[in-house]
Structure 1
Amino acid sequence: MDVKTAIKEIKQGKISPLYLCYGTEKYQIQQFIALLQEQVVDPDQRDFALAHFDLTETPVEVVIEEAETPPFLAERKLIIAKDSALFTAGRDGSKIEHKVETLLDYSKNPAEYSVIVFVVNSEKLDERKKVVKAIKSAGIALSFLPVSGAELVQWVVREVESRGSRIGTDAAEALIASAGVQMSALAVEVDKLCLYAGPGGKIEPATVEQLVARSTEQNVFVMVENIANLKLDKALDIFYELLKQREEPIKIAALIARQFRIMLQVKDLARQSYSQQQIASQLSLHPYAVKIAGEQARKFDAAMLRSILSELAELDYKMKSGRIDKVLGLEMFLLKLGA
């Protein structure tokens, strides 16, 4: 079952006794749990019907004991157990020993008055484990992975509209370029922009540029985008602004090299007919970052990208060995690249 179907069923009152939420998109998981909490727990009963556990500190049998205990002054209760390595292939870094048999036995006959949500911060589950098979059989496992580039833009548009304001795809893309691809960070910026625009107001790209501060990484990302579009003046403006913020030139050079390396990798994998999602998984990147890197890479051939990376490696050596002034060396590199 996918997340959209699970949300639809929850809103219809069809709630599973067991949920296993895994993936790297924490904001989506938080939103899903918030919806469950809204449907399962009465706001006046949260002190009695809502329990949180950290499985790096608490054995799973304590969670099951809580689930089997009837709720006090409430019809049902919601139990959230996070950071569990019980369902993944990696070693559990905690010193807690879990009696997995307790969970296996519970999954065969879960309590009607309890809903347990296990949260796993991992892209994959270990499908070989009995406990994973048991949860999938008795409950619902949901994957919360980063959405594709186009879907992320549409998500921003929907979030803005849900707050009573409006935004075009150009401004949404500008927001992602400034704030990054993490939904939690984007949601904070959306709140700020909607507050500025007001009910019915439209958020323009200029508004995003005015109100949303970019991190060093995002500044370098936009700098490379400007270089790819032959907008050297804008790229240099960002470079000088980073220097004003006392960013280390060696760090800036390393981030530029990283972006060009990603462009080359995306170009090579796309040539091998990898999809955007497959490339994202292969390079451990967000699909939107792959989309933008792919667009940037089309403006360079592979030989040019390799030559740029070679020059950056040489520049890094000269900067670190004191053979060239760091600011001057990076400035000359940008001017040559823009030319």
Structure 2
Amino acid sequence: MANPKTKAGILLLHGDERFLIEEKAKATLDSWRSELVSDFGFERLEGQGLNAARLQDSVLQAPFLDPYRVVAVTMLPAARAEGFAAALVEVPASTRVLITVAGRLGGGNRLAKAVINAGGTVEEMTHLKGRSLSEWAATRATEHGLTPAMAAQVVRVTPPDLTIIDSELRKLAAYKASGSKLTDNLLPHPTPEALKIARGLSRGGMQPTSVAYRMARHISLVLEVRARQDRGESLSDVKSQMSEHPFVVQKAFDTARDADSNRLEAALRAIRDYEWEVKSGQIDPELGLDVLLTRL
């Protein structure tokens, strides 16, 4: 039996939160595989259909070209987990084992005990809720270049599912990276920062007409939201009826309060004229974009 004070290269991940299990598994495998010098040192075994004898055979194999072997068992069914305890009775120092379980294991589970007896680690990933969910979302938002306030808003309007929350945060990050700073400085009148950002986007590879199209989409969104406000619709009504991300609708709703519909329509006409003049060769696209922003 391994010395319990010595952590062997064995990690068992189980629990109800599959997203966290898969994230921890990926990070662990990325770290372990970084020291391998060949593909021979890594073996992935699907938990469905796997048996203890097959796992034991893989664990006991000696490394060929690599300093150690990495064996990864993916999503072993929780109901069958105990039957694999015998496969970990002997784990060579030259083998690292990662096992992810589809579901939660009880405290007396024999596989979990076998991992601990071998000097390994057992981690349970539970569903996050309340404060822990908010803190996770805030950290995740920061990793995506967003603010904790954005994370809090996403948590409020989405189901408490980490996969969904992460997906929404990624969408927001993509939106932010693709020009939200421009639209933030566009209404009620373009600021000097808007001109600077527009130039940066066009000189960074985005076509000036694409920048103008992004501006038109934002103005159209604000115009539509303004029309809904005039009809007496609340923010929750607008969010439920529009396909845009709730955070984007929230920002448009705030902007629309002080917007003038006639000026918004005039701005759309100016953008339409700019695009026609560019396509007909009457003006330089980049210089024309500067002029357009000053006209708005």
Please report the TM-score for the alignment, with normalisation by the length of structure 1. Answer: 0.47
Find out whether 1:34 has 2:13 as its counterpart. no
CA displacement 1:51-75 (0-9 Å, x = unmatched) = 2212321212212211111223211
CA offset at residue 43 of structure 1?
7.3
CA displacement 1:254-292 (0-9 Å, x = unmatched) = xxxxxxxxxxxxxxxxxxxxxxxxxxxxxxxxxxxxxxx
**Residue of structure 2 in register with 1:157 after alignment:** 138
**Residue of structure 2 in register with 1:132 after alignment:** 112
CA displacement 1:146-188 (0-9 Å, x = unmatched) = 123222222222222223x23133x222212334222222222
SS at match of 2:112: helix
**Residue of structure 2 in register with 1:190 after alignment:** 169
**Residue of structure 1 in register with 2:17 after alignment:** 25
* Preserved contact between residue 82 and residue 109 of structure 2 (Cα < 8 Å): no
Q: May I ask how many residue pairs the two structures share in their alignment?
A: 189
Find out whether 1:48 has 2:35 as its counterpart. no
* Preserved contact between residue 22 and residue 144 of structure 1 (Cα < 8 Å): yes
Q: Write the mapping of 1:1-339 to structure 2, written as runs, cut at 5 A.
A: 16-42=8-34, 45=37, 47-85=39-77, 88=78, 90=79, 92=80, 100=83, 103-104=85-86, 106-123=87-104, 125-138=105-118, 139-163=120-144, 165-169=145-149, 171-198=150-177, 233=234, 241=241
CA offset at residue 193 of structure 1?
1.5
The amino acid of 1:109's aligned partner reads: E
* Preserved contact between residue 41 and residue 76 of structure 1 (Cα < 8 Å): no
The amino acid of 1:178's aligned partner reads: V
After superposition, the Cα gap between the structure-2 partners of 1:198 and 1:232, relative to the gap in structure 1 and judged at 3 Å, is closer
SS at match of 2:73: strand
Distance, in Å, in 2 between the alignment partners of 1:84 and 1:184 is 20
CA displacement 1:129-159 (0-9 Å, x = unmatched) = 4333222222211010112322222222222
CA offset at residue 16 of structure 1?
2.9
Unaligned runs of 5+ in 2: 1-5, 185-216, 219-231, 244-296
After superposition, the Cα gap between the structure-2 partners of 1:193 and 1:43, relative to the gap in structure 1 and judged at 3 Å, is farther
The worse-fitting range, judged by mean Cα deviation, of 127-136 and 70-79 is: 127-136
After superposition, the Cα gap between the structure-2 partners of 1:44 and 1:70, relative to the gap in structure 1 and judged at 3 Å, is closer
* Preserved contact between residue 107 and residue 135 of structure 1 (Cα < 8 Å): yes
**Residue of structure 1 in register with 2:283 after alignment:** none
Unaligned runs of 5+ in 1: 1-13, 93-97, 205-209, 212-230, 245-339
After superposition, the Cα gap between the structure-2 partners of 1:194 and 1:43, relative to the gap in structure 1 and judged at 3 Å, is farther
Distance, in Å, in 2 between the alignment partners of 1:27 and 1:78 is 22
* Preserved contact between residue 61 and residue 103 of structure 1 (Cα < 8 Å): no
**Residue of structure 2 in register with 1:334 after alignment:** none
- Percent identical among aligned pairs is 13
After superposition, the Cα gap between the structure-2 partners of 1:154 and 1:135, relative to the gap in structure 1 and judged at 3 Å, is same
SS at match of 1:21: strand
Aligned-pair Cα RMSD in Å = 3.6
* Preserved contact between residue 36 and residue 66 of structure 2 (Cα < 8 Å): no
After superposition, the Cα gap between the structure-2 partners of 1:177 and 1:46, relative to the gap in structure 1 and judged at 3 Å, is farther
* Preserved contact between residue 72 and residue 97 of structure 2 (Cα < 8 Å): yes
Larger radius of gyration: 2
**Residue of structure 1 in register with 2:210 after alignment:** none
